[in-house]
Amino acid sequence: MDLKQRLSSFRRSSIEKILTPQENQAKIDEVRKIIGPVANKFPVMCSDASIQRYLRARKNNAKKAAKMLKCSLKWRLEYKPEMIKWDDIAQEGALGRLYKADYLDSQGRTVLVMRPAITSASAAAGQIKYLVYCLENAIMTLSSKQQEQMVWLVDFQGWNKSCISLKITRETAQILQDHYPERLGLAVMYNPPKVFESFWTMVKPFLEPKTFKKVIFAYPDNTKSLRMMEELFDKDKLESYFGGRNTVGWTLESFSKKMKDDDNKRMSNVSEGGVSTELINESIQIDDNNSDDETSSCDTLGSTMGEDKEEINVKEGLDSPKPTILQKDESGAKP
């Protein structure tokens, strides 16, 4: 089974129930009805495509999807992610720790490259702000390519225990899962060291099962990993630290210019606004005390933004599904 077949199989297995077009539209209309008149003020966030992503994230439960979407609307009003520009995050962006690649994957999806071994120049709040900036930029590219999901490609070259930040990891997962649902198509962890396994065990409780299943571990001395990377990416464009033939990789000059150009395009399209947070709060009437609700209370979303405290209650995720790990060849021989 090739990569496309495996990913297609994953998508089918992730759907709790396949709805007919009529049933699907009825769910979308139900969510929009729950949200109320405020939906008209956010035509993009409350579009059919956007609501559909929130429904998928909540297994087609309209009530839970509506609550989740309302929380995102409130977060966007307060955080204003669409207004972040390159000049606001240039110090962090200049490091090359996180950037949008100049190429797409084989399915035409935007690729975000992460290099966590590079030391950040910002506190937690600054790192999260830059992450949000990159997500907004990536989504703009996805929309122009008629795609919904992106690929994360993580380079572990030089990574060690000193690079660990449970706080940043937790907030990254929270932002992605709470406010950008169903935007991650695949995350490739490339050549993580042995020590990463213990860190990954601590990370599992932060991830929803659907997100966890999208993570694949790949190694340069594994035949299946090499085949997967060749199926996913153009090796002539892929950076050399991922086994590609591109030895130039990321450069600040070209990246910053492109991001500034994208800023100008994005700012010209910013139209949503003028709705008070109070109006969103008044429209949120779903019981936050429902213990069966998978969503978080809007009052707690983003509450850790800017905190420096890194005290996290970590438990073993015994019920979490195992990610796909393309292990190193047992013989140690190069394929």
Distant-in-sequence, close-in-space partners of 248: CB < 8 Å, separation ≥ 6 = none
Pairwise CA distance, residues 237 & 103, whole Å: 7
Q: Which of 47, 79, 111 is the last residue of a domain?
A: 79
Q: How far is CA 197 from CA 111, 158, 172, 242, in A?
A: 24, 15, 19, 20
Asked whether residue 333 is domain-assigned, the answer is no
Could you tell me if 71 and 105 lie in one domain? no
Strand, helix or coil for residue 207? coil
Q: Which of 252, 270, 288 is the last residue of a domain?
A: 270
Domain range for 50 is 19-79
pTM, two decimals, is 0.82
Could you tell me if 258 and 120 lie in one domain? yes
pLDDT of residue 312: 34
Could you tell me if 177 and 36 lie in one domain? no
Could you tell me if 42 and 123 lie in one domain? no
Asked whether residue 65 is domain-assigned, the answer is yes
Asked whether residue 315 is domain-assigned, the answer is no
Number of domains in the chain: 2
Q: Which residues pair with 113 in a beta bridge?
A: 99, 153
Asked whether residue 322 is domain-assigned, the answer is no
- Tell me the chain's radius of gyration from C-alpha atoms: 20
Pairwise CA distance, residues 135 & 202, whole Å: 24
Asked whether residue 288 is domain-assigned, the answer is no
pLDDT of residue 278: 56
Could you tell me if 144 and 252 lie in one domain? yes
Distant-in-sequence, close-in-space partners of 258: CB < 8 Å, separation ≥ 6 = none
The kind and range of the H/E element at 324 are strand 324-325
Q: What is the CATH number of the domain that holds 116?
A: 3.40.525.10
Could you tell me if 157 and 226 lie in one domain? yes
Which pair of tokens denotes residue 192? 């993580």
Q: How far apart, in Å, do the first and last CA atoms of the chain sit?
A: 19
Going through 143-225 in order, the beta strands assigned E by DSSP cover 150-155, 184-190, 215-218
Could you tell me if 183 and 214 lie in one domain? yes
Confirm if 325 and 213 have CB atoms less than 8 A apart.
no
pLDDT of residue 281: 60
Asked whether residue 178 is domain-assigned, the answer is yes
Pairwise CA distance, residues 153 & 139, whole Å: 16
Backbone CA torsion sign across 285, 289, 295, 300: positive
Pairwise CA distance, residues 162 & 116, whole Å: 10
Could you tell me if 124 and 224 lie in one domain? yes
Q: Which of 60, 79, 98 is the last residue of a domain?
A: 79
Q: How far is CA 303 from CA 44, 233, 248, 268, 276, in A?
A: 25, 37, 40, 30, 19
Asked whether residue 182 is domain-assigned, the answer is yes
pLDDT of residue 323: 54
14: left (phi over 0), alpha (psi -120 to 50) or beta: alpha
- Strand arrangement of the beta sheet that strand 150-155 belongs to: 98-104, 110-114, 150-155, 184-190, 215-218, 324-325
Pairwise CA distance, residues 284 & 67, whole Å: 7
Regions of the chain where pLDDT drops below 70 = 1-16, 270-335
Could you tell me if 88 and 56 lie in one domain? no
Could you tell me if 105 and 168 lie in one domain? yes
Could you tell me if 134 and 261 lie in one domain? yes
pLDDT of residue 307: 43
